[in-house]
């Protein structure tokens, strides 16, 4: 899949892909929103992803995907290279892109895909609870009881219905601790239990005990996660 807001850049990548027998172009997208649709429509192994795009940047788009395909960044700006590799991209191509450099990236992607498809050891069952430190003890919290979590600077408030717990963890830490299929960050300051969503009204989630705003940069990921 190609995701780039520049028509000329898309045409060049399309011509390169057509010269590679191991590649099949499933969709050429002008924006992240078109790419979300494409990921639902097609099985996609590799995305050639521009970084500087309007509304949602390439890095924001990649961060929003729970199980992203392999990604090769394509951009005219070298200052995004570090962030690109931090996101575990296969490669980082600077425009104008030569076919030789393009094909080197394709070979890297092919090698990584073959490596990832090796048989894996069966995963252990993920616990359905988390321990949160409260005063001088660790309190066990069942995931199903958490309604939402609110960022409080370097700390967080965990809401269990009408009950609130104060945790010495940042919201980012909860993103790593809680199961991605059940909990989603919907705002810079909020993370919600998807099972607790009763309704969506505009950019507001109606939960059982609260109403939570949805940030503009998080909305598409939320809709994608809920398959709306």
Judgement on whether residues 107 and 191 belong to the same structural domain of the protein: no
Asked if the structure places residue 124 within a domain, the reply is no
Whole-model pTM: value is 0.52
Cβ–Cβ under 8 Å, residues 27 and 48:
no
Looking at the fold, whether 180 and 210 belong to one and the same domain comes out as yes
Q: What values do phi and psi take at 20, rounded to 5?
A: -110, 110
Contacts of 5 (CB under 8 A, 6+ apart): 30, 31, 50, 53, 54
Per-residue pLDDT of the chain (228 residues; tens, 9 = 90+): 999 999 999 999 999 999 999 999 999 999 999 999 999 999 999 999 999 998 899 989 998 888 899 999 998 877 765 565 667 889 989 999 999 999 999 999 998 887 666 555 455 566 788 888 888 788 889 999 999 999 998 899 999 988 999 998 889 888 888 888 899 999 999 999 999 999 999 999 999 889 999 999 998 889 888 887
Q: Give CB contacts under 8 A, 24+ apart, made by 206-209.
A: 207/147, 207/148, 208/147, 208/161, 209/147, 209/159, 209/161, 209/162
CATH value at residue 42: 3.40.50.2300
Q: From 83, 116, 149, give the residue that closes a domain.
A: 116
Look up the domain containing 167 and give its range.
Answer: 129-225
Residue 196 domain-assigned (yes or no): yes
Whether residue 41 sits in one domain with residue 139: no
Are 199 and 138 part of one and the same domain?
Answer: yes
**Does residue 48 sit within a domain?**
yes
């Amino acid at each position: 899949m190609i995701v780039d807001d520049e028509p000329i850049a898309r045409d060049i990548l399309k011509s390169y892909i057509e010269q590679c027998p191991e590649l099949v172009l499933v969709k050429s997208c002008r924006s992240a929103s078109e790419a979300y649709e494409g990921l639902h429509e097609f099985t996609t192994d590799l995305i050639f992803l521009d970084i500087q795009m309007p509304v949602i940047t390439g890095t924001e788009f990649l961060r929003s995907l729970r199980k992203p395909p392999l990604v090769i960044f394509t951009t005219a700006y070298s200052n995004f290279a570090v962030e690109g590799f931090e996101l575990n991209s296969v490669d980082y191509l600077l425009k104008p892109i030569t076919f030789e450099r393009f094909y080197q990236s394709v070979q890297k992607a092919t090698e990584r895909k073959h490596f990832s498809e090796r048989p894996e050891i069966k995963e252990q069952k993920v616990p359905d609870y988390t321990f949160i430190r409260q005063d001088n003890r660790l309190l066990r919290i069942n995931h199903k009881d958490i309604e939402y979590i609110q960022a409080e600077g370097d700390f967080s408030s965990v809401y269990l219905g009408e009950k609130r717990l104060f945790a010495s963890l940042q919201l980012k830490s909860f993103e790593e601790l809680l199961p991605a299929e059940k909990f989603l960050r919907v705002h810079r300051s909020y993370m919600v239990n998807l099972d607790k969503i009763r309704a969506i009204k505009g950019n507001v989630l109606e939960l059982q005990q609260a109403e939570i705003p949805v940030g503009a940069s998080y909305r598409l990921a939320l809709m994608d996660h809920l398959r709306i």
